[in-house]
Homo-oligomer: A and B are copies of this chain.
Amino acid sequence: MREKNACTFEPIGIIRTPYQDSAPYQPVDSDSGEFRIILDDRYRDGLVQLEKFRYIYVLYHINRLDREVKMTVSPPWAEGRQIGLFASRSPVRPNPIGLSIVRIKKIEETSIYTSGLDVFDETPLLDIKPYIRDLDTKLDANYGWLDDADDMEHLAQHIQGVPHEH
């Protein structure tokens, strides 16, 4: 029979960002400001060879949002339509585990300096995994419901983090 066991995780470090009170919506990849993942010293040896990767996955605990979890959401690009929570990247989820892909700029001691990371300052770090070419770059991936946006070209610029005029 199925067991429903809660699982408990303990942060392995902390994420420092310029965002004290508000964080940007996910698809924007901002490189302004300093983004730094600080691993607890006891895990220091786990970083060996990590600098060889251009990108990493960062998993973290979204711990600053206490809004009610709703099963349908209306993200900025849904143009008013209701989208299922699991078809969205909304941070308000039953298990608030955040997932971001960032570029490694440099690693010094237990600090990983990265490209923009859309989380609040002092977000608890749960895991780091290498983002591996081919394994993680699904070239036939699609845009899902985002494809239905009236201005898909504009949206694509946001997704890719391309600066553009509004």
Contacts and interface: CB of A to CB of B under 8 A. Distances in A.
A54 B144 CA distance: 7
Interface residues of A, number: 75
Interface in A118-150: 122, 124, 126-147
A136 B138 CA distance: 8
A97 B9 contact: yes
Contacts of A6: 8-11
A7 B123 CA distance: 12
Given A45-B84, A52-B147, A126 B139 contact: no
B137 A138 contact: yes
B88 A130 contact: yes
- The 4 A-B residue pairs with the shortest CB-CB distance, nearest first, are A48-B84, A53-B144, A45-B71, A46-B85
